[in-house]
Amino acid sequence: MAVLRRMWRRCLTGPLILLLLSGAATGNQGTAFADAERRLTPAGPEVEAGQFERPSGANWAEMQRRYKGAFVLSAPKPSRRQVALTFDDVPDSRYTPLILNVLKQQNVKATFFVVGSRALKQPGLVRRIHAEGHAIGNHSFDHPDFSKLGIVGMKKQIRTTESALIRSVGFAPRLIRPPYGEIRMSQLNWAQSQGYTVVNWDVDSSDWRQLNAQVVYRNVTSSVRPGSIILLHAGGGAGQNLYGTVNALPKLILWLRTHRYEPVTLPELLQLPERKND
C-alpha cells in the first residue's frame, strides 16, 4: 500500500497533459482520449498488476450467504433486468470528470465509491457526483487492505471518510466497499451491527490492469446478468491509465440497453437507502 500511496501523490506526467490539451485545442477530444489510451496502454494484458490486484481472501459466496443483506455481490432476486455500474477510487481529476461526462450524455446514473483522503482534496468533484444524481459509497480513507487491519483500524477508515463526505455532501453513506474487496468476518459483524451494507461485485472489468477499451468492454459483457454489480474505476494511481474505461463506457452502455439491461444506482438495484441513517 505504501507503493500505491506514493503513486497517488505523484502528479500526472507532462506528455499526457500536452497530448490531451492538443486534442482539446483542435476540438477533437475523443481522438485525444483514444490517442492517450494507445500511447499509455501496454501491448500486454497488464502492467505491474500486483500493485493494484486485490489480495486473495475469504469465500465471498459463503460470506454473502452468512451475512445476508449485509454483504452483497449482486442483487439477490432481481425482478427486472437491472444492473449497477460502480466506480471506485474517486475523486480523481483526470478520470472522474470524463466518466461523469459520459454518464450525463447517456443519461445513466451510477454509484461512486469515494476515498476519503481524495474527497478532502477535491470536495467540489464529490459534490458534482452527488449533484448529478449518482449514488455515493464509502471506499475507506487511504485505501488499505481491511483484512490486514483490526476492527479499530477499519472503524477509523470508515468514520474518517464519513466526516469528509458529511463536509462535502452532507451525509454518511450506508454502502461500504472495502479496498480490494477484502474484509474479515469480525469486521462484517461490526458493519452489520452498525447498519452498513458491504458491497463487492460479481462482474470485474479488470480495468485497473490498464486494459484497452475493447478488453474492458469484453470483460463486462461476457459476464453480466440481471442483478449484476459491475466493478469499474474512475480514479487510479499516478500514471495509471484508465482511458480504456473512459473509451469503453459509451459502447458498454449501448450494449446493455440493446440487450434490455437497465443501468441503475446500487440503492435502486438493492432497494436500500443511500444514507446510513435513513
| CA–CA separation, 73 and 124 (whole Å) | 30
Residue 182: helix, strand or coil by DSSP? coil
| CA–CA separation, 120 and 263 (whole Å) | 29
Cα separation values, 155 from 46, 70, 159, 240, 277, Å: 33, 16, 6, 29, 17
Burial 5-43 (b: 16+ CB within 10 A, else e): eebbeeeeeeebeebbeebeeeeeeeebbbbbbeebbee
| CA–CA separation, 120 and 91 (whole Å) | 10
Amino acid in the structure at residue 224: V
11-19: which pairs have CB atoms within 8 A and are 24 or more residues apart?
11/238, 12/94, 12/238, 12/239, 13/239, 16/40
Q: Among residues 127, 136, 134, which one has the least CA distance to residue 109?
A: 134
Give strand pairing partners of 86: 111, 231
Residues noted as catalytic: 88, 233
Angle at 113 between CA 110 and CA 118, to 5 degrees: 125
